[in-house]
Structure 1
Amino acid sequence: MRKSLLQIYDARVATGLLKADAAQRALLPRFDDIIEALETPVKKPGLFGLFAKPPEAVRGLYLWGGVGRGKSMLMDLFHEAVSVPKRRVHFHAFMQEVQAKIEAARRAKEEDALLPAAKEIAASVRLLCFDEMQITDIADAMIVGRLFEELFKRGVTIVTTSNRPPEDLYKNGLNRQLFVPFIAILRAQLDVVEIASETDYRQHRLTGAQVYFSPASKSAHAAMDALWDELTGHDAATKLELEVKGRKVVVPHFHNGVGRASFWELCGAMLGPGDYLAIAAAVKVLMIDDIPQLSASNFNEAKRFVTLIDTLYEAKVRLICSAAEVPERLYNEGTGSFEFERTASRLREMQSADWGANRA
Structure 2
Amino acid sequence: MTTLPEIYAARIADGRLTHDTAQEAVLPEFERIRAAIAQPVKKGLFRKAPEPPKGLYLWGGVGRGKSMLMDLFVESLNAPARRVHFHAFMQEIHAAIHAARQRGVEDAIKPVAKSVSDSVRLLAFDEMQITDITDAMIVGRLFEQLFAAGVVVVTTSNRVPDDLYKDGLNRQIFLPFIDMLKTRMVVQELASPTDYRQDRLSGAQVYFAPNDAAAKTEINRIWEELTHGQQDSLTLFVQGREVELPRFHNGVARVKFYDLCGKMLGPADYLALADAVRVLIIEDIPRLSRSNFNEAKRFVTLIDALYEAKVRLIVSAAAEPEMLYVEGTGTFEFERTASRLREMQAADWGEV
TM-score if structure 1 supplies the norm length? 0.94
Q: CA RMSD in A?
A: 1.4
> Shift of residue 53 of structure 1?
7.0
**Structure 2 stretches of 5 or more lacking a match?**
none
1:73-222 matches, cutoff 5 A: 73-222=68-217
- Rounded Cα–Cα distance in structure 2 between residues aligned with 1:165 and 1:89: 20
Aligned to 2:281: 287
1:2-21 matches, cutoff 5 A: 2-21=1-20
Which runs of at least 4 in structure 1 moved beyond 6 Å after TM superposition? none
| Equivalent of 2:231 in 216, 231, 237 | 237
Residues 54 and 154 in structure 1, CA contact (< 8 A), matched pair in contact too: no
- Rounded Cα–Cα distance in structure 2 between residues aligned with 1:151 and 1:289: 40
1:309-324 matches, cutoff 5 A: 309-324=303-318
> Shift of residue 246 of structure 1?
3.4
Deviations 1:243-275 (A, max 9, x none): 223332112211222111111112112222222
- Rounded Cα–Cα distance in structure 1 between residues aligned with 2:49 and 2:140: 20
Aligned to 2:345: 351
**Structure 1 stretches of 5 or more lacking a match?**
none
Residues 254 and 281 in structure 2, CA contact (< 8 A), matched pair in contact too: yes
> Shift of residue 55 of structure 1?
5.5
Q: Percent identity?
A: 64
- Rounded Cα–Cα distance in structure 2 between residues aligned with 1:250 and 1:20: 36
- Rounded Cα–Cα distance in structure 1 between residues aligned with 2:248 and 2:192: 24
> Shift of residue 226 of structure 1?
1.7
- Rounded Cα–Cα distance in structure 1 between residues aligned with 2:48 and 2:96: 24
TM-score if structure 2 supplies the norm length? 0.97
* Alignment-mate amino acid for residue 326 of structure 1: E
* Alignment-mate amino acid for residue 334 of structure 2: F
- Compared CA separation, residues 314 and 53, structure 1 to 2 (3 A): farther
- Rounded Cα–Cα distance in structure 1 between residues aligned with 2:21 and 2:42: 37
Aligned length: 352
- Rounded Cα–Cα distance in structure 2 between residues aligned with 1:55 and 1:153: 13
Residues 57 and 153 in structure 1, CA contact (< 8 A), matched pair in contact too: no
- Rounded Cα–Cα distance in structure 2 between residues aligned with 1:46 and 1:71: 41
- Rounded Cα–Cα distance in structure 1 between residues aligned with 2:245 and 2:35: 35
* Alignment-mate amino acid for residue 263 of structure 1: F
SS for the counterpart of 1:240 is strand
* Alignment-mate amino acid for residue 16 of structure 1: G
Aligned to 2:39: 40
1:63-82 matches, cutoff 5 A: 63-82=58-77
